[in-house]
Amino acid sequence: MSPRRIQIFDTTLPEGAEALGAALRPRAQAELAAQLERLGVDVVEAADADGARAVAAAVRRPVVALAAGPREEELAAAADALAGSRRSRIHVVGAASAEQARRAVAYAAGRVDEVQLSCEGFDADVCRAALEAGATVVSLVDGAGTAVPAETAALVREARRALPGVTLSVRCRDDLGLAVANALAGARAGADQVECAVNGLGARAGTAALEEVVVALRVRTDWFDAETGVSTAELSAASRLVSSLTGRPVQPNKAVVGANAFAHEAGIHQDGMLKDERTYQIIDPAEVGVRMTLPLGKHSGRHAFASACAERGWTLVGEELNAAFRRFKELADGGRSVTLEELFEGVTA
């Protein structure tokens, strides 16, 4: 059997708007949405009404979503903003009772193509009322970021038993550093959709990082038995664009898209990578749009040093290599980066 298909509901635009110090104007939302379409996400959620109009004009394939409260005026404004979308979805948030959920969903369902209901935790009565009124997606939200993976999995299984046939989604905050783990636990337990943001962007500690969720599902298909439609080769480009437009840098040790994710400085690692790139890499860097690097530093070994020299056209053997490597180690041990050009200024080959 083929792996189960997990939909990716991208929340980068609203999460970017909520992130401290970040702002995304409609033009920036449209630019990012175009990249998200190249990435292959299933749903792009806009940050606001003006953003939804801009996104609708920028993309053709993804569903365009916009969150709205349960009041009719909020729902009407969202529907109006989504009118230009090829396929539209209102994401109903804040419905506090079954009756409120039923009224909100029934109103929205008559104005857009799809309706999604979000609920903190799980209330079967509220969700059933929404489904009866026309909702097709129920999102289980860990808004406080306090859940652990076992709890998320149990919640998804409970919702699946109570609501057979519905598309179940999970949205997980990262306050305990568990957003990706929770999202993956939800997917393995049967969730059909994961809501995530590029670079883990979001309020407070952020939300589940899209690139980590996608690559985990790809690398460990044996465990999750699930896949996405995301083109992983676009992940690095998406990460760079999000960082540029929001002014939020990506930490070097960030999984998948960080500058050090595929960099190997330790001598034993470099030697292993030169012999077989699968030694310390779970995925070919080209699959996520980057390349492996073997930066030279105080921990580099002779094999990597000789390989770096050869790449620059300096083939060293015997005592020439020994002398150059000794000088390199002396300079590198001083705690600063050393270029080969600087090194060979003082070494006569």
Domain count, the chain: 2
Spatial distance between the Cα atoms of 31 and 273, rounded to a whole number of angstroms = 37
193 bridge partner residues: 7, 169
Are residues 156 and 24 both part of a single domain?
A: yes
Which long-range contacts link 331-334 to residues 24+ away (Cβ below 8 Å)? 332/296, 332/297, 332/298, 332/300, 333/298
Matching residue, tokens 């979503």: 65
The answer to whether residue 261 is domain-embedded is: no
pLDDT at 273: 43
Matching residue, tokens 């190997």: 264
Are residues 235 and 294 both part of a single domain?
A: no
**Residue type (1 letter), 137:** V
Q: What is the residue-averaged pLDDT of the chain? A: 86
The answer to whether residue 32 is domain-embedded is: yes
Whole-number percent of the chain with pLDDT over 90: 66
The answer to whether residue 199 is domain-embedded is: yes
Are residues 282 and 168 both part of a single domain?
A: no
Are residues 155 and 301 both part of a single domain?
A: no
> Which domain does 290 fall in, by range?
267-344
Q: What DSSP line would sit under 82-93, residue for residue?
A: TTT-SSEEEEE-
Whole-number percent of the chain with pLDDT over 70: 79
Confidence tier at 21 by pLDDT (50, 70, 90):
low
pLDDT at 310: 73
- Nearest to residue 3, comparing CAs of 223, 262, 240? 223
Are residues 199 and 309 both part of a single domain?
A: no
Are residues 307 and 202 both part of a single domain?
A: no
Does residue 5 have a pLDDT over 90?
A: yes
pLDDT at 272: 47
Are residues 66 and 211 both part of a single domain?
A: yes
Are residues 216 and 336 both part of a single domain?
A: no
Render pLDDT for 134-151 as a digit per residue (tens, 0 to 9). 999 999 999 999 999 999
Spatial distance between the Cα atoms of 202 and 29, rounded to a whole number of angstroms = 15
The answer to whether residue 256 is domain-embedded is: no
Spatial distance between the Cα atoms of 157 and 155, rounded to a whole number of angstroms = 5
Report pTM.
0.80
Are residues 174 and 300 both part of a single domain?
A: no
Are residues 156 and 73 both part of a single domain?
A: yes
Name the token pair of 128: 């059933």
